[in-house]
Structure 1
Amino acid sequence: MVIYHTSPRDACVAASVSKTVKSAAESDLVWERFLPPEYSSLVPPRSLDFSSKKEIYLSLADDSVLIDDGKKSFWLEKASGKRCYMLSAMDLKITWSDCPAYWQWNTVPDSKFKRVAELRDVCWFEIRGKISCGMLSKGTHYSVYLVFKRAGGRSYGFEDTPMEAQVGFVGKDAAKKKFVVLEPIDMDQPSGYRYTSVSLTWVSREDRTRRLREVGGNVEEPKVRGDGWSEVKLGKVYIHDGGYDDDGDEIEFSIMETEQGDWKSAMIFQGVEIRPMKEGEEMVITK
């Protein structure tokens, strides 16, 4: 019962104490406590071959499973057992995504999902989504990431264009705005022409500096993931032990750029990932 009230990481550490403690730390009683209540509907058919609840837990921590008709993926953070999700592009609201002239729905081999959204050409860029607070782990700080990559190794219209991102609770206090870019900002890049999907556009170093100054100069840049995709942090949110935890409460998030009027193209969006903040990340509660 002592181990039952710890965490998956603590149970694995305790198992090294002695054979007796190891027997307790690896018992089904302990590991069923770490599994979500609906785990039997989440594990793949091969779970029938698992010999223990710990093996089932590790299967959900090592590999994500598709849920909601393939529109979401779910997995557990291995050390804590916290719930993690990725909402596919199909589960998001993308402006003009139903118009083939602006967006295409394609299949790529390294995506978790059947279809991804490939940007052909837009000047009004807007992606929004929601998730129920009841699906997430209580008492947990979460970060929200947009997952994407270039189409064909090259994209247009993103190099010098900060985009507005927001994460917050539906119908609650207004979400705090921040700015992100989908292409890293190279301040040493000289003035010159930038390719867009339709023409060459002259961008000066002064213009790039001005745009950053207009949004405060604090812009989140993307990072390349281990799976070959890139991600950029849209924001963070805290799921309270009480209050924002009912099925009726939702988190909403968005990324948009509708004012500059620059044409953007050649970017593939897999979805939005929501996962617990790691140790060392800034733990600021968003109300």
Structure 2
Amino acid sequence: MLSRDTRYAAYLVFKMTDDCYGLDSPLQVASLSIGEDTSTHRVRLQSYASDEENDAPDEGAAPRLPQERPDGWLELELGDWYNHGDDEIDVCASVKETRFGGNWKKGLIVQGLEIRPKN
């Protein structure tokens, strides 16, 4: 149950192990679908860049980066929406690597998806 007339955001909550790799490149794409509407954003699970190709100027806006929470977990905003008060609506979120030939990944620990009012 979400409150009416409130802006919400969906966050991926995660940690990475000390020996993680492959999570910094290539960039991933976060997608958030609310009913029929879908928004996508480029994201980087690790805050530093190791692949200069990801920072090419023709790629558009800078990717969203994770923020550290007080509890030690990281959170990455996947998108937001305004809840007008619809009785029932589907919310679907994903983070995907969209480029073929990507690197192997290791060390991602996902706590879950958090939906909360956006400040």
With structure 2 as the length reference, what TM-score do the two structures score? Answer: 0.87
Inter-CA distance 221–211: structure 2 relative to 1 (3 Å threshold): same
* 1:24-63 pair list within 5 angstroms: none
Post-superposition offset of 1:154: 2.8
**1:168 matched to 2:33:** yes
Percentage of matched positions with identical amino acids: 37
Q: Identify the structure with the greater helix proportion.
A: 1
**1:254 matched to 2:102:** no
The answer on whether the counterparts of 2:10 and 2:77 sit within 8 Å (CA) in structure 1 is yes
Q: Identify the structure with the greater strand proportion.
A: 2
* 1:1-287 pair list within 5 angstroms: 135-151=1-17, 153-170=18-35, 172-173=36-37, 175-186=38-49, 207-208=51-52, 210-213=53-56, 214-241=58-85, 245-247=86-88, 249-260=89-100, 261-278=102-119
| Counterpart secondary structure, 1:220 | coil
Moved over 4 A (4+): none
1:61-100 Cα deviation digits (max 9, x unpaired): xxxxxxxxxxxxxxxxxxxxxxxxxxxxxxxxxxxxxxxx
Measure the CA separation in 2 of the matches of 1:262 and 1:164. 15
Post-superposition offset of 1:246: 1.8
Measure the CA separation in 2 of the matches of 1:238 and 1:217. 22
The residue identity in structure 1 corresponding to 2:31 is Q
Post-superposition offset of 1:160: 2.9
Measure the CA separation in 1 of the matches of 2:48 and 2:83. 32
Gaps spanning 5+ residues in structure 1: where?
Answer: 1-134, 187-202, 279-287
Measure the CA separation in 2 of the matches of 1:144 and 1:254. 10
With structure 1 as the length reference, what TM-score do the two structures score? Answer: 0.38
Measure the CA separation in 1 of the matches of 2:94 and 2:80. 12
Gaps spanning 5+ residues in structure 2: where?
Answer: none
| Counterpart secondary structure, 2:21 | coil
**Cα-Cα RMSD:** 1.7
Post-superposition offset of 1:253: 1.3
Larger Rg: 1
Measure the CA separation in 1 of the matches of 2:59 and 2:104. 20
